[in-house]
Amino acid sequence: MLSINWKGYRFAAWMGQTLLGIAVLAAALQGKWQNAIALALFLIVSLMFVVKDDKLPTLFDFLFVLAALLNAGGWVWGWFYAPGPDDELVHGFTMFTITLALSFLVYSSMLPIFRQHTLLYLLTIASFGVAIGALWEITEWSAGKILVTDVIGSVDDTVIDLMMDTLGSVLAAIISLWVLQKWTDSGVGNESARNHLNHYKE
């Protein structure tokens, strides 16, 4: 079984970044500036996670870049509007990867406090992801108004997206708790998390 910090995942993440960069260049050369800007935003956001180095397991870097690629395809090439559950699945997967990554960056130093309050940790992380999902729906609605395009299909579409966001967030919370415990117990991760853990054990 491969480690969550396998170097191959980071290589795959950089390959994904390269594909996004090529897509940005291609869209710009074709004069499709709106597509180029959208792709560039996905490239920048995913790059922020990849350059965190030891702050995140390399698997999480790869998953986030993969989510960025899927979202880029959905927004720019219309995958979200094709028949099938692409939009819903990408919503759930994206919120899963975002919640998973941010739980490491934001809550890793507080894991020792949560060790005796597992349910509280799960609820906190899941709520964090659901809140981000709600903000994303607001962003989609705003984009539809500003760009005068049908970004949100219906209220049913929004509710289903929020349900998938919630499912992805809950799954991320469960995996986050398990991985963070192993991440800190094995002495891997940021110095802040290790110092808090040692202090708690004393």
Tell the residue number behind the tokens 């919503």, with chain if given.
Answer: 91
Would the pLDDT of 16 be above 70?
yes
pLDDT, one tens digit per residue, over 36-68 is: 887 788 788 888 877 765 677 788 888 888 888
| C-alpha dist (Å) from residue 2 to 52, 69, 185 | 21, 23, 18
Q: Assess contact for 98 and 130: CB atoms under 8 A.
A: no
Nearest-angstrom CA–CA distance, 22 and 32:
14
Q: What are phi and psi of 150, to 5 degrees?
A: -85, 90
pLDDT, one tens digit per residue, over 168-188 is: 999 999 988 887 777 666 655
User: Could you tell me which residues come within 8 angstroms of residue 105 by beta carbon, excluding any fewer than 6 positions away?
Assistant: 52, 55, 56
Q: Which two tokens stand for residue 116?
A: 């005796």
